[in-house]
Amino acid sequence: MTQLHRRYHITTFGCQMNKADSERMAGILDKMGLEHSDDPNCADIILYNTCTIRDNAEQKVYSYLGRQAKRKHEHPNLTLIVSGCVAQQEGEQLLRRVPELDLVMGPQHANRLEDLLTQVFDGNQVVATEPIHIIEDITKPRRDSAVTAWVNVIYGCNERCTYCVVPNVRGTEQSRTPEAIRAEMEMLGEEGYTEVTLLGQNIDAYGRDLPGVTAEGRHQHTLTDLLYFVHDVPGIERIRFATSHPRYFTERLIRACKELPKVCEHFHIPFQSGDNDVLKAMARGYTQQKYCRIIDKIRTYMPDASISADAIVGFPGETEEQFENTLKLVEEIGFDQLNTAAYSPRPGTPAALWENQLSEEVKRDRLQRLNHLVSIKAAERSERYLGRIEEVLVEDCNPKDPSQVMGRTQGNRLTFFAGDIEALKGKIVKVKITEARAFSLTGESLAMAAIGSSSKC
């Protein structure tokens, strides 16, 4: 490697999966002896880890990239990399659009960064987008948090939701072995991490590509089995998982979550639409009634469970009445949080070619109405915490008030309370909730709960 390449900067767009990929790529660059820089203008290597789920995410990448491509004319030793979903979608075309780029690499190639950069430093312009078997995570990631960590359990997605670009850019499902996942979690426990979120685009599909069938005819390795397998990892006190798919969500999984004390009673299960015809057009493979049955079942086992989801408004052909079915579902379920989006036509997806696209104005109006309802319902859900004692895992100080620390309840509500971050970081603290807002809480610390005594309320 040339001495000119010393500092690197990574900007990450998009989902938790991308954040986890960026942490692994940063780990590889650290191992190569490069220094991390928060400021892209001080870096010799700039990596944009990109998202293409909606058009605005993609356009943001081009605007960032344009600035750095100009800078490269004055600093020819600058190395420019685009990784992630835009890289996979555009491939070689990206080089035509931004010839200053040195490396274009799809998400499946994240663990190959050192090898690819070596080719770049040898003077090549490199495109790595061919489907490959993902190399096991052998590099120690540079994690953003010292308290909570992402652990990938399954890459890719085999679903074909008609709006979604993920299967095109992230490839088919590839599950990591339970042993590799447990080994990563054991390392995290030894390093002092308290919480792990297991990640997959469709995490309920975990293990269906791994060999082995049980005597009952089930896949030998399922998400439920994985939770039992990793549950006793020393030091890890909280386990979360995301994202769940209503089509594959099982009662066996719900029972495991109830039974295993470290598994947080928070479920992220996107429903996308509250209308059966829209769900059919989306090729989601379930009905609104099935979705409600899953939530009922979760609440039968765990009445206080937090439920979050994703929803899309303005899908092609969605009528006002169909949109109102989404509002009705939101009203009925009472989500703790809902990520909402206006439908964005994506290249290479079936729905993008349909003629019944809605105007931006209609989509914007529906999004506003949905968001309004979501905050009302989230505020109602938050009220149940008032006066309660919650266990909060302290992650950091409140950036707006340094006299306060912030962390999350077991149900994933962001919570602030007065405290000293030096003493509390990574600790689970009992907090009496005194204020409840739609998406956050404020409280007073009672006493520090001993780590390991975490219990579900």
Task: State the minimum distance, in angstroms, from the CB of residue 314 to ligand SF4.
Answer: 16
Taking the C-alpha atoms of residue 424 and residue 435, their distance in angstroms, rounded to an integer, is 21
The one-letter code for the residue type at 20 is: A
Site size toward ligand SF4 (CB under 6 A) is 9
Question: Using CB distances below 5 to 8 A depending on partner kind, what does residue 346 bind out of ligand SAM, ligand SF4, none?
Answer: ligand SAM
198 binds ligand SAM (CB under 6 A): no
What are the CA-CA distances from residue 98 to residues 61, 81, 128 (Å)? 12, 11, 16
Residue 269 tokens read as 């299960």
Of 102-110, 146-154, 336-344, 356-364, the segment contacting ligand SAM by CB under 6 A is 336-344
Taking CB under 6 A as the rule, does residue 197 contact ligand SAM? no
Q: Do 237 and 453 form a contact (C-beta atoms < 8 A)? A: no
209 contacts ligand SF4 (rule: CB under 6 A) = no
Binding mask 236-255 for ligand SF4 (x = CB under 6 A): ---------x----------
Residue choice 81, 94, 164, 278 for contact with ligand SF4 (CB under 6 A):
164
Residue 129 binding partner per list ligand SF4, ligand SAM, none, with a CB distance cut-off of 5 to 8 Å that depends on partner kind: none
Among 163, 248, 249, 291, binds ligand SAM (CB under 6 A): 163
108: contact with ligand SAM by CB under 6 A? no
Does 312 contact ligand SAM by CB under 6 A? yes
Residues 226-255 that bind ligand SAM (CB under 6 A): 243, 245
| Cβ closest to ligand SF4, residue 173 vs residue 336 | 173
As measured in angstroms, the least distance from the Cβ of 6 to ligand SAM is 34
Measured from the CB of residue 205, what is the shortest distance to ligand SF4 in angstroms? 9
The site partner of 167 among ligand SF4, ligand SAM, none (C-beta below 5 to 8 Å per kind) is ligand SF4
Query: Does residue 272 bind ligand SAM (CB under 6 A)?
Result: yes
Interface mask toward ligand SF4 for 99-138; x: CB under 6 A: ----------------------------------------
Q: Which of 80, 161, 263, 429 binds ligand SF4 (CB under 6 A)?
A: 161
Q: Are 49 and 83 in contact (CB under 8 A)?
A: yes
Least Å from the CB of residue 407 to ligand SF4: 29
Check residue 330 for interaction with ligand SAM (CB under 6 A).
no
Q: Give residues in contact with ligand SAM (CB under 6 A).
A: 15, 53-54, 163-164, 166, 201-202, 243, 245, 270, 272, 310, 312, 341, 343-344, 346
Q: Give residues in contact with ligand SF4 (CB under 6 A).
A: 157, 159, 161, 164, 166-167, 201-202, 245
